[in-house]
Amino acid sequence: MSATASMIQEFEQEAATTRRVLERVPTDKLAWKPHDKSMSLGRLATHVAVVPGFITGWATQDTVTWTGGDAPEAKSTEELLATHDKSVAEAKANVAAVGDGGLGTMWEFKTPDGKTIMKMPKVALLRSVALNHWYHHRGQLSVYLRLLNIPVPSIYGPSADEGPAGM
């Protein structure tokens, strides 16, 4: 199996898990924050939903200039799920477009004035900034659910609320 096919397979598997977490996000709690310095549940869930397609899109370019801003915050659980599904489809297309030959190509992230913030091979961008970043925020989202006393789905094994997926 090629490296990009393997990464796409991982995206598909993790997307199913992420979708189960997002399905638990209640529309009536989107404004809730566990702390004044924390993102709201809606902002965090939206971030989790958009990260795959957004960040893998960077890998289709050699240089990205940061312009700031956030994605519009989802207004409902249904909107979160639609955003997630679209983002995952974009991620798979973006990884396929990079292809195995493009994984070693260098990528740069710059400020509007041209200062390089990050520079790395596209494989590192996809692995650390896209996938690992996504998993980190999904874990954060599962903590938000726990704090709201919402059953947390199985992610990599049983949660306190349910056994492994499919059991």
What are 129-164's pLDDT values in tens digits? Answer: 999 999 999 999 999 999 999 999 999 988 889 876
In-domain check, residue 156 = no
Mean pLDDT of 46-68: 95
Predicted local confidence at residue 164, as pLDDT: 67
Which CATH number fits the domain that encloses residue 13?
1.20.120.450
Distance (Å, whole) CA 68 – CA 65: 9
How would residue 72 be classed by pLDDT, with cut points 50, 70 and 90?
confident
In-domain check, residue 88 = yes
Domain tally, the chain? 1
Predicted local confidence at residue 98, as pLDDT: 97
pLDDT in tens, 77-98: 999 999 999 999 999 999 999 9
Distance (Å, whole) CA 163 – CA 167: 6
In-domain check, residue 139 = yes
Domain hosting residue 126, numbered range: 3-26+34-147
pTM of the model: 0.92
CA distances from 129 to 24, 57, 59, 108, 114 (A): 25, 12, 10, 12, 20
In-domain check, residue 155 = no
Measuring CA to CA, which residue among 23, 28, 55 is closest to residue 40? 28
Q: Is the pLDDT of residue 70 over 60?
A: yes
Q: What is the mean pLDDT of the chain?
A: 94
Measuring CA to CA, which residue among 128, 133, 62 is closest to residue 98? 62
Distance (Å, whole) CA 14 – CA 62: 26
How would residue 67 be classed by pLDDT, with cut points 50, 70 and 90?
confident
In-domain check, residue 158 = no
In-domain check, residue 165 = no
